[in-house]
Every structure is written in C-alpha cells, then in structure tokens.
Structure 1
Amino acid sequence: MVGDYAVIAIYIAGMIGIGWVGMRLARTKSDYLVAGRRLGWFMYSGTMSAIVLGGASTIGGIGLGYTHGISGAWLVLTIGLGILALHAFFARRLVKLRVYTVSEMLDLRYGGSSTVIAGVVMWGYTLMLTVTSTLSFATVFHVLFGVSSAVGIAIGGSIVVLYSVLGGMWSITLTDIAQFVIKTIGILLVLLPMALFAVGGFDGMAQRVPPDFFDLTSIGGATIVTYVLTYGFGLLIGQDIWQRVFTARTPRVATGGGLVSGVYCLVYGFAGALIGMAAKVLYPNLGSADDAFATIVSNLLPTGVRGLVLAAALSALMSTSSGALIACSTVTTTDVLGKLRGKSGEADLKTNRITTLVLGVLAIVVAMLVNDVVSALTVAYNILVGGLLVAILGGLVWKRGTRAGALTSMVVGSVVVIISMAVHGLLANEPIYYGLGASLVCYVVVSLLTPRTDPAVLETWNERISGAQAEPAGQSS
C-alpha cells in the first residue's frame, strides 16, 4: 500500500497547506466566519456539496445500498431535496439578512433576546455533528494503517482542527473545494464505474440481487418520511448549512449555486446506492453493511487508485467535520459568550480562533469516549427540527407570527420530542411527528392570541430582508 500511503500523505499535506493560505485571507471576523461573504457560484456550490455529503452520505449511503438496494439512496436524496428547497425558497432572503447565526435571525424577526433556547439547541446539534464526523475517521484510518479507533480519531480530528483554527471559513472553503473535486473523482468517476464493471453492469447486477433491490420504495414509506422530516427539514434550519448560505456574494449566487448543489446530491445518492448494490453482489456475507465501503475499496481497486478513493472518503468526513466545527464556534462566540457579555456578535478574531481550538479538542475527546453517537445525533436532530423548525420557517413566511408564539413553540416542541423519545425510544419515528405537531399548534394559536409584533421590529426586518439595509456596523471587524 505504499502508493496509497503516498496519495494520502499528499492529500493531508495539501489540506494543511490550504489552511495556511486561508489564514492569510482571514483578517476580519467576517472573513473568519463567513469567508467575507464573497463566494461566487462555483465555490459556493462546491463548498455546499462538500459539507452536506459527509461520512453518513458516503460510507453510510453505500451501506444502505448494500442492505436495501437502490432504495438506500433515500438518505442522501432527502439531503438533496432539502438543499433544493432551501435555495429555491429561502436562500435569497437569508443572504440579505447579513447575520451570522440562526439565533440572530430569530432576534431580528421577533424582537428582543428571544432565542436562548435556540442557541442552546443549535450549540448541542453542531457539537454532536462535529463529534459524529470526527468519530468516522476511525474507520478510514483503520483501513489505511490498522491503527486503533482512538488514534484514527486523533489523526483525522487534529488535521481538521488545525486548518479550521488557522483560517476559519476561508480555510474550510478552500479545503472543501479541493475535497469536492477529490470526492467527485474518487466516488463518481472511479469507484462507481469500476464497481459496476466488476458485476457485469446493470444487467449482471439485476441477475444476482433480490428483486426488490431495484424498487425505489422498498426501504419503507415510514422511513422515507422520517428521513424527509429529520434530514430534509434539518437542512433547512441547521447553523452549519445557513453559515454556508451567508458566504454567498449575492442572493443570486446563493440560489443558482445551491440548486446545482442539490442536483449533485441527488446524483451522489444514487451513486452510493449502486456501489452498495455492487458490494452486495461481490461480498454478500459481510458482518456489517457499514463495512461495504472499506471492503469494496480494499479488494477491488489497485494501489494508488485505492488511495485516491480513500482520500475521497476522508474528504467527505473532513468537510462535514470542519463545517460543523466552525458552526459550533460561531454559535458559541455569537449566541452564548456574546449573550453572557451582553454584547452579542462582538467577539474578535483571536477569540474566534481560541474558541474553535477548544471546541475542536473537546470534539476529539468526546469522540474517543462515546460509542453510541448515532443516538446522540438523532436526539440533537429531533430537538432541532421538532423544537426550532416551526419558529424559524414561520418567521420567514408568516408575518403574524409573534415572539410569544415562537418561544412557546420552541419550548413545547423540544419538551414533547424529549418525552416522546423517552417513551418510544431514541430512534423511533414518533418523536419528530409529535414534536412538530405540538410546535406548529402552539406557534399558530399563541401568535393569534398575543399582540402583533412591534411595527418597528417588522420594519427593520423588512428593510434587512429586502436588502435595503447594509450590514450593521462592527459586524465585519
């Protein structure tokens, strides 16, 4: 595997080098957190695709294809649909707001400091997303070097933390573009065609897999709906995704680049499922579906090419991990530390770097200690969507929504989700249904029963969302 080691070494050195370049570009808070809001459509589309298509979409998506056939694509398809919906209906307005966090948007829309619960939930969600992505490094580095999980997590996590701390969003954006290119070549242009060739194409595959492997709905309607509610809707409101939207140079760039990214996600979803199906034909008796990726890469590809595809997997993991880390850092400095100081949004560049470093180290340590992060991430996603979705989207589309309605919907939705998970289990479908339903009812009823939002607050909101008001003083320092 000398050739593979060489490819991976070049890749890692490249990521660190790009991080160093990003440090030279990150001179202000705006540079560090949202890349100066200067990305064009290609960089925007590439970085958006990189962050949403992580280890779950790559290794997990192939595993779902191994188990369910083409229907296993639904996890990634719902991600693509969420990205398409976000950019078709909301991205233009988000870019015009000129904020840094979801909580800042809620404060602006409803007036006052109404978003403590939103900041706490978003912090927990972004931290657990960082931990989950960091934990996934164990698989790839075990395949490469045979090291223990802890060592693999330390290696991969340290690389991500290093380039994220150096240049913030500029480093992450530049590395994401490189990772997007590597991922496209490694997964779509190398592994997919070679896997299909090895099984005799679609005809050969059809003769050797169960008939329902070509049924797009065989994974089950309830599972598909849950994916849409959890991941599709989660992408509409996640801090890690919104922060990428804020990097767009113009609303038009965000819309066009985001729609391209959404289509790319759909293609990636089907590609992963097909690779998993090919692995099922070639290696039908794997102990775990999650081993399908590592097995087909190790056994099917020649040296050097194998290193490229493993670098593609690392790219998927690093892009999601770094995006979640910078999002967690931004929520911490803007919504948590800022609120404690009474000066939201005024953390300087040095504070942002220190916060990113501390949170990165924390994520590495937690990833080493925790085994069942899937359940922890599910809890975070359920509370995120069940508690915050209605208040956030309601604020964007319904003028009658009030601060009291938003607060009530966030509290009740979150509590109902937690109680439902305690009753039905952490991985059950019911919590997200009950949480969303309770949150929606509370938002509408309480908003209609309470006084309308202060006209001055709505006037400021309308000015910002129309693009008439420039970025507030001090925001770019």
Structure 2
Amino acid sequence: MNWYLIWIVGFLLLLFAVSLRSSKTVKTADDYAMADFKLGFFPICGSIIATVTGSAALIGGAGKGFEMGISYFVTVISFVLFTIVGMLVLGPVIRKLRLFTVPELFARRFGKLSALIPALIIGFLYMTPTFGMQLVGMSSILSSITDLPFFWGIVLGFAVTLVFTLIGGMPSVAWTDAIQTIVILAGVVLTLVMGIAYVGGPGVVAAATPQHLVSFGSIGFTELLNWFLIFGPFYLVWQTTWQRLTAAKSTKVGVSAVVIGFIISGVIGLLAIVIGITAVQAFPAGTAPDAIYTSFIAEIFPGSIGGLLMVSLLAALLTGATSFLLSGAINISKDIYEGWINPQAKDAQILKVSRLSVGFMAVLGLVVALLVKDIIAIYQIALAFTASALVAPVLAAMFWERATKAGVIVSTIGALVASLAWRLAGTPFGIHEIAPGLVASAVLLVVVSLATKHSDDETVIAYYHAFRRGRLTSDKVPAEGQVASAAEALLAEADSAPDAAAPRDSASTTFDSKPRG
C-alpha cells in the first residue's frame, strides 16, 4: 500500500472541500483579493506561517543546515526582527491606508507612474519565480514518493495550485493556509525528534557534528552580513504581509497575527536548520542539499507516518504557491489594469481580471519552474533585487515628506542597475549585490529629491507622521493631479470622513497632509 499517495490524496481532497466552502463568500473583487477585510486572527496567523515556511524555509533551510550549520540561522533572526519592528511601527499605518499592494503606496504618494516599476518588480521579478520555486519543490516530493516524472510533477502542482487559487481567492487561501499550518508544525517537530533518535540521540549529534556546523560565526562576518541583508530588509516590503494585515478585521488583530505568525515561523525555520545539522550523521557529505529534508523523512519513517510528514511539506509548498500566485495576480489586476488600462473599471471587471491574472501568472511560473535548478539561489535573487529597489522609497513615503516622484523613479531604477552591475562584476569583496543596491537606492533618492520639485500628481505627505498626529483621516486614494495640502485635504473631507472599517473607494478623494513650508 502506498501510504504516501493515500495521505497526499486525502489531504488534497480536504483542502478542496475547504476551498469550495470558502468560495461561496466571494461576491466582489474585495472578497476575492482581501476576504472583504474580515479575516480573524487564526486565518491570518496561519496564512503567514504557512506562506513563510515554504520551500525556502523547509527544503532550503534543512539543506543549508546540512551545508552551513547554525550560521544560516542569521537569516531567521533577520526576517523575524525586521518584520516585528516593521509591523509594530508601520503596521497601523498600512492598515489605515488599506493597501492591496505595495505599488499602491507608490501610486498614492508619488503618482501612478512611480508605481509601474514596483508592480512589475513584485509581480514578475519576485512573485513569478517564487511561485515557480514552489512548483519545483512539489514536484521533488511527488517524484520521490511515486513514479511520476519530474516534469509531470511540476505540471500537476501547477494544476492543483491554479484550481485552488481560482476557486476562492483570499478566503480560500487564508483558511487552507491555516489548516496546513497545523500539519506543517507537527511535521517539522516530529521529523526533528525522530531524526535525532534515529542517528543515536542528542549526545551523538552533539559529539559527532563537525564544529563549524555548530559555531554561529564560522562563515565569517561578511557572509553573516550578506545573509542578514538578503532576508531582512525585504520583509519590510513583503507584499504578502501587507495584504494579510489589510485583510484583517481590525488593526489589532492584523498586527498581532502577523507578529506572532513570524515568531512561530522563526521557530520552524530554526527546527529545519537543526534537522539539516542532524542529517549530517545519516548522509554523506556529497548529498544534494535540496534532497536532505525529503530523504531524511524517507529514511527514518515507515510509509504510514512518512506519508503524513510528506504531506506537511507538500502543504508548505502548496500554500506558498497559492499565496504568491494570488499576490502577483493582484499586482496585475489592481496596479496595472485598474491603475493604467481601465481606471474606471467596475467591480465585476476587476474580479474577472483578477482571475485571468491568476491564470497568466501561473503559466509564467510554470515556465520558470521548468528552468529552475537551485531553490535558494533563485530566492536570493528575487529577495535582493526587490528589496534593493523598494525599501528606500517605501520608507520615504512613510517618513520623508521632501521625497519627490523623480527621486523615487531614479532610485528604483538605479537600485536595479547597481545590483545587477555588482552581480555581473562578480560581487567584489565578497559583498552581496543587495548592499550596493540598497545604498544606491537611498543615495539617489535623497540627492534627486533635493534637486527636484514635487510633481502635480504627488500627494505631499509623510504617512507615518500624519498618522501619529491624527491627520491621516481617510483610507481613500487621492485624486490624480492633486498635490494635497492640509487645507485642501480638510476641505475635501470635512463633510464626509468615512469610517475606518468602510469598504475602499478607489476613485475617491485624498489624505490629510502636512502643509509645505
């Protein structure tokens, strides 16, 4: 009896049932993309955990633990630290703005032209390859436990993910993620405990593991800094976090769910690394890192239990794929279609384009999946280039009123050019390309902004400071061509400031902003 196949088929049937149930709530584009802003703590927290602990965290984390040891934990410290600080400081502001996507912040603050490049970066440079990365991971699992060829494993993963996402959108994704979180956490803990027992117990692991694998600084300061920068800054602008926060039924629920979700994700990430270190006792040094996690499960468990653990891994990959697919599709439907092609689009049109975008993104991801060879390598590139281009402009929108549209556009393009040039030059001094990218972005933003004036379609405001002063009085999008001053904003909203929980109106007026000196 093929227990692996029985567990996987049973689990997929359960998820389809949940997905179909959730799909009944989808009536509008807001329902599809944001669950009508009514998600509670459990689905948000679970969705964060399930999405963070995808192939990079489990397959990649175990592989890096096998290769690098505990030093790889610096990545976990980095993304958890940056996210917690970012959410505690900026979470309430993001929630107040009701942002569907990160580029939407660019459009509101700096005009819609400034949002086009971020939309393309997130949708195609990050979401597409990371979706493809999950398909590769799913195929690796399926091909290791069945006779299914690797190519058809990718195709099957593509089909299942596409159907899940098309059926129910955010309600389906969030609730299936929450269910999968339980399976993921149980699977990682059981694999670690039984794995340690399999190789002889904690004493054997402690005594036989090479010293460099248990020494945090064994890879050197430069490499620690590289890994810290690759993962940390990116999570300040991780669109998945922003969307989950916005979809929450309240600011308190959203921020607490995201923070706790990342803390638990950090624990799971650490466990995956320790699994990789433990596996050193079971596999020869030349074993492919990306095969460590699945091979360890197959080695130590009978099919009846191993099938459940394979399901936990498949769950992590599936949930990451659905989240990345939905998020990237929203970039197309909201930032590109509604922002540029049809600004007056009706809700039914946006919902239709959202679903068509899911299919389009899925096909692109499928193409990438068929070309991907190294999971962690492609993830590094996606994180590095996205963070380099977007972190400084996002912080400027939040904290620096003097930032201009020209400064942001030059900063975004300049960061990509600097990162690419540094990579093509062979990463001089051993410094990863994200570092020069972040520096170039910040310098260009400041220099060009100070040398240029605000354009007519900007909203001149520092959102964080406006929020802290109680002057961020609306979640509506500023009218195009308007540079908001305090007097203009107050006049526009004096008669009709909406309730914070009201649905968004993407064609409405403005934000309250600080008057220019």
TM-score interval, smaller chain:
over 0.9
1:81–1:232 Cα contact (<8 Å) kept: yes
**1:450 matched residue in structure 2:** 452
Structure 2: distance between partners of 1:83 and 1:136: 25
**1:407 matched residue in structure 2:** 409
What amino acid is aligned across from residue 134 of structure 1 in structure 2? Answer: L
**2:121 matched residue in structure 1:** 121
Structure 1: distance between partners of 2:228 and 2:282: 31
What amino acid is aligned across from residue 87 of structure 1 in structure 2? Answer: M
C-alpha spacing 1:69/1:380, structure 2 compared with 1 (3 Å): closer
What is the CA distance between 1:373 and its match in structure 2?
Answer: 6.6
Alignment of 1:60-459 (within 5 A): 60-124=60-124, 125-188=126-189, 190-343=190-343, 347-371=349-373, 375-424=377-426, 429-451=431-453, 457-458=459-460
Q: Secondary structure at the match of 1:115?
A: helix
What is the CA distance between 1:261 and its match in structure 2?
Answer: 1.4
C-alpha spacing 1:449/1:340, structure 2 compared with 1 (3 Å): closer
What is the CA distance between 1:59 and its match in structure 2?
Answer: 0.8
C-alpha spacing 1:344/1:300, structure 2 compared with 1 (3 Å): farther
C-alpha spacing 1:311/1:122, structure 2 compared with 1 (3 Å): same
What amino acid is aligned across from residue 505 of structure 2 in structure 1? Answer: A
Which string of whole-angstrom CA distances, capped at 9 and with x for unpartnered residues, describes residues 396-440 of structure 1?
Answer: 122222222212211211111122222226997442111111111
Structure 2: distance between partners of 1:436 and 1:144: 43
1:386–1:432 Cα contact (<8 Å) kept: yes
Which string of whole-angstrom CA distances, capped at 9 and with x for unpartnered residues, describes residues 221-256 of structure 1?
Answer: 323322222221112112233222222211111221
What is the CA distance between 1:48 and its match in structure 2?
Answer: 0.9
2:45–2:178 Cα contact (<8 Å) kept: no
What amino acid is aligned across from residue 409 of structure 2 in structure 1? Answer: L
2:329–2:357 Cα contact (<8 Å) kept: yes
C-alpha spacing 1:454/1:465, structure 2 compared with 1 (3 Å): farther
Structure 2: distance between partners of 1:60 and 1:472: 39
1:37–1:249 Cα contact (<8 Å) kept: yes
What amino acid is aligned across from residue 396 of structure 1 in structure 2? Answer: M
What amino acid is aligned across from residue 354 of structure 2 in structure 1? Answer: N
What is the CA distance between 1:76 and its match in structure 2?
Answer: 3.3
Structure 2: distance between partners of 1:367 and 1:391: 31
Paired-residue identity, %: 24
What amino acid is aligned across from residue 451 of structure 1 in structure 2? Answer: K
What is the CA distance between 1:460 and its match in structure 2?
Answer: 10
**2:38 matched residue in structure 1:** 38
1:421–1:428 Cα contact (<8 Å) kept: no
What amino acid is aligned across from residue 270 of structure 1 in structure 2? Answer: L
Farther-moved stretch of structure 1 (172-181 vs 222-231)? 222-231
Q: Secondary structure at the match of 2:425?
A: helix
Gap runs ≥5 in structure 2? 476-497, 509-517
**1:473 matched residue in structure 2:** 505
1:379–1:426 Cα contact (<8 Å) kept: no
What amino acid is aligned across from residue 221 of structure 1 in structure 2? Answer: F
Aligned length: 475
Structure 1: distance between partners of 2:36 and 2:184: 26
What is the CA distance between 1:354 and its match in structure 2?
Answer: 2.0
1:70–1:215 Cα contact (<8 Å) kept: yes
Which string of whole-angstrom CA distances, capped at 9 and with x for unpartnered residues, describes residues 370-407 of structure 1?
Answer: 54675554443332111111001221122222222212
Farther-moved stretch of structure 1 (408-417 vs 64-73)? 64-73
C-alpha spacing 1:426/1:239, structure 2 compared with 1 (3 Å): farther
Q: Secondary structure at the match of 1:100?
A: coil
Structure 1: distance between partners of 2:134 and 2:158: 9
What amino acid is aligned across from residue 156 of structure 1 in structure 2? Answer: G
What amino acid is aligned across from residue 273 of structure 1 in structure 2? Answer: I
2:110–2:458 Cα contact (<8 Å) kept: no
For the pair 1:3 / 2:3, whether they are aligned, the reply is: yes
C-alpha spacing 1:370/1:276, structure 2 compared with 1 (3 Å): closer
What amino acid is aligned across from residue 164 of structure 2 in structure 1? Answer: Y
What is the CA distance between 1:167 and its match in structure 2?
Answer: 0.5
1:375–1:426 Cα contact (<8 Å) kept: no
Which string of whole-angstrom CA distances, capped at 9 and with x for unpartnered residues, describes residues 255-302 of structure 1?
Answer: 211221121122112211111121111223452122211221001012
2:15–2:176 Cα contact (<8 Å) kept: yes
2:99–2:242 Cα contact (<8 Å) kept: no
**2:12 matched residue in structure 1:** 12
**2:480 matched residue in structure 1:** none
Farther-moved stretch of structure 1 (409-418 vs 424-433)? 424-433
Gap runs ≥5 in structure 1? none
C-alpha spacing 1:183/1:430, structure 2 compared with 1 (3 Å): closer
Structure 1: distance between partners of 2:59 and 2:71: 16
Q: Secondary structure at the match of 2:24?
A: helix
Which string of whole-angstrom CA distances, capped at 9 and with x for unpartnered residues, describes residues 78-137 of structure 1?
Answer: 332233233222211111111211111111122453222112111222111111121221
Work out which of the two has the higher radius of gyration on C-alpha atoms and give 1 or 2: 2
2:134–2:318 Cα contact (<8 Å) kept: yes
Normalised by the length of structure 1, the TM-score is 0.92
Farther-moved stretch of structure 1 (382-391 vs 332-341)? 332-341
